[in-house]
Amino acid sequence: MNERFSISQLYPHAIPPAAPRSSGKSPVTERPGAASFQNALDQELVKFSHHAEVRLKQRGIRIQPEQMVQIANAVDKAASKGAKDSLIIMKNVALIVNINNKTVVTALDEHSMKDNVFTKIDSAIVLST
């Protein structure tokens, strides 16, 4: 079973409410910044595998909306360089991302990163948060 969940299912309080899908009617006014983040989610710029979502929950990792945008930008940049599988490090979190599928395959917290060897990656991205 390879179910995929959206970040809004994992962290419903960290994500601005979804705007109704456009049906040709006038746009809905939202909080500043909420629309761009919601657009990123709607376009599914980055997905999380079931395994990654389990790891996020187990390790108490919370990814904020602005971090999701940074991750999506890092994935796009890695793709432009020809990367296939990347390690993304931000603050106290490491993510292994399949760039072609734009899917986070696992997540590690600071404790899990120590003394760990990352294999089967071809690139690394360090984000400042």
User: For 65-90, how does the pLDDT look when each residue is reduced to its tens digit (9 = 90+)?
Assistant: 899 999 999 999 999 999 999 999 99
Alpha carbon distance 54, 3 (integer Å)? 11
pLDDT digits (tens, 9 = 90+) for 39-71: 545 556 799 999 999 999 999 999 998 999 999
The length of the chain in residues reads 129
Is the predicted pLDDT of residue 106 greater than 60, yes or no? yes
Residue 41 lies in a domain: yes
This prediction has a pTM of 0.67
Is the predicted pLDDT of residue 14 greater than 60, yes or no? no
Residue 4 lies in a domain: no
Residue 77 lies in a domain: yes
Alpha carbon distance 6, 65 (integer Å)? 12
Residue 70 lies in a domain: yes
Residue 39 lies in a domain: yes
Question: 99 with 85: CB under 8 angstroms?
Answer: yes
- Residue partners of 122: CB distance under 8 A and separation at least 6: 83, 84, 85, 86
Structural domain harbouring 102: 31-127
User: CB count, 10 Å around CB of 35?
Assistant: 15
The number of folded domains in the chain is 1
Which amino acid is located at 121 in the chain? I
Is the predicted pLDDT of residue 124 greater than 90, yes or no? yes
